[in-house]
Chain A
Amino acid sequence: MSRTLKIAGRDLSSRLFLGTGGLPHLALLPAVIDAAEPGLVTVSMRRTSSTAAGGLLETLRAAKVPILPNTAGCLSAREAVLTAELAREALETDWVKLEVIGDETSLMPDAVELVEAAEQLVRKGFTVLPYTTDDPVLARRLADAGCAAVMPLGSPIGSGLGILNPHAIEAVVAAVDVPVVLDAGVGTASDAALAMELGCSAVLAATAVTRADDPVAMARALRLAVEAGHAARGAGRIPRQAVARASSPMAGRIA
């Protein structure tokens, strides 16, 4: 694995992506971004009766961090495609984190609508990063549709349960040739490190940072964890075995 991450031909400065939802005060965001040093920062698109002047976009532009709009809350391919088109127009980026959820309780991806939306957006020239389940078959479908990365969940959005099925995440990594970004479920640093050790190319965290007691400190912790996990993956961990194996020589002992 290379040190820098490339998605759709674009070099990203960090393997940690930051979601901005859930911060108690927008004023905290600059310090959180400084601590996380994220490669991408996500935003959502919502109806407005005012400009975002003095607000979120100014903060993100001042931080010089690339913006990744999402389609959070969309329940159909039709809604998601329109939301992506609105984001492209408003933010002048053709990158989109594609979310199509099946219901507002589980927030789980709707696989059928997701693939349909991905195909449409790829045809329209978008760089599509879909939020998906930890299903390697669906991940391959999305990659085959032309998605630039796939973003499987470790556990439900905002749950902080970490990676419930690490074998599935490994299977997703093995199934696709595009970068895999662990998207949902990260609760703390060890979850992010595990994602990288399993072979993910990056981690997206939102709630883990924004709803931590100290968001700035957690942003730093996740940055370090992603870096450590990536380094450990590259280093090649020892195989697990059920019996002890001494690392000190047995010969020459005094007894």
Chain B
Amino acid sequence: MKITVNSEPTEVSGTVADLLEARIGDRRPSGIAVAVDEEIVPRDDWARWQLQDGHVVEIVTAVQGG
């Protein structure tokens, strides 16, 4: 299954939590937010939210900024 994560084409299957574990090594990292197709996926839904082919995922955190 092909999805796009932070504008990179990615092969994954499973839930948002599975994706976070693969990329970040943590199923519930703090200070992180996830959107799929421009909709926020709340933290409490990560473990059951199934990714589907073609989804566009954004994973963001806070960085230094004015």
Report A's interface with B, CB cutoff 8 A.
19-23, 26, 29, 42-53, 56-57, 67, 69-70, 72, 78, 82-83, 85-91, 157-158, 204, 206-207
Q: Looking across the interface, which residue of chain A has its beta carbon closest to that of B64?
A: A20
Q: Is B29 located at the chain interface by the 8 A CB criterion?
A: yes
**When each residue 39-62 of chain B gets 1 if its CB lies under 8 Å from chain A and 0 otherwise, what string results?**
010110000000000000011111
CA distance A61 to B38 in the complex (A): 28
B63 to chain A: which residues have CB within 8 Å? 43-46, 48, 52, 56
B61 and A52 contact, CB distance less than 8 A? yes
Q: Is B11 located at the chain interface by the 8 A CB criterion?
A: no
Q: Looking across the interface, which residue of chain B has its beta carbon closest to that of A73?
A: B65
B65 and A86 contact, CB distance less than 8 A? no
CA distance A86 to B57 in the complex (A): 12
Main secondary structure of the interface of A (DSSP, over half): mixed
**When each residue 1-32 of chain B gets 1 if its CB lies under 8 Å from chain A and 0 otherwise, what string results?**
00000110000000000000001101001111
A21 and B66 contact, CB distance less than 8 A? yes
A87 to chain B: which residues have CB within 8 Å? 33, 62
Total contacts A to B, CB within 8 angstroms? 111
A51 and B66 contact, CB distance less than 8 A? no
B64 and A43 contact, CB distance less than 8 A? yes
Q: How far is the CB of B61 from chain A (nearest CB, A)?
A: 4
CA distance A19 to B62 in the complex (A): 13
Q: How far is the CB of B30 from chain A (nearest CB, A)?
A: 7
Report B's interface with A, CB cutoff 8 A.
6-7, 23-24, 26, 29-35, 38, 40, 42-43, 58-66
CA distance A63 to B16 in the complex (A): 31
CA distance A67 to B62 in the complex (A): 10
A89 and B42 contact, CB distance less than 8 A? yes
Q: How far is the CB of B38 from chain A (nearest CB, A)?
A: 6
CA distance A86 to B43 in the complex (A): 11
B31 to chain A: which residues have CB within 8 Å? 51-52, 57, 90-91
Q: How far is the CB of B66 from chain A (nearest CB, A)?
A: 3
B65 and A21 contact, CB distance less than 8 A? yes
Q: How far is the CB of A144 from chain B (nearest CB, A)?
A: 26
B66 and A90 contact, CB distance less than 8 A? no
B32 and A51 contact, CB distance less than 8 A? yes
Q: Looking across the interface, which residue of chain B has its beta carbon closest to that of A82?
A: B38
B59 and A49 contact, CB distance less than 8 A? yes
A51 and B61 contact, CB distance less than 8 A? yes
B30 to chain A: which residues have CB within 8 Å? 51, 57
Q: Looking across the interface, which residue of chain A has its beta carbon closest to that of B23?
A: A49
B62 and A45 contact, CB distance less than 8 A? yes
A23 and B64 contact, CB distance less than 8 A? yes
Q: How far is the CB of B41 from chain A (nearest CB, A)?
A: 8
A89 and B43 contact, CB distance less than 8 A? yes
CA distance A78 to B37 in the complex (A): 13
Q: How far is the CB of A236 from chain B (nearest CB, A)?
A: 33
Additional pairs, 8, CB under 8 Å, beyond known A52-B63, A86-B58, A90-B62 = A19-B65, A45-B62, A52-B61, A70-B66, A72-B66, A86-B35, A86-B40, A87-B33
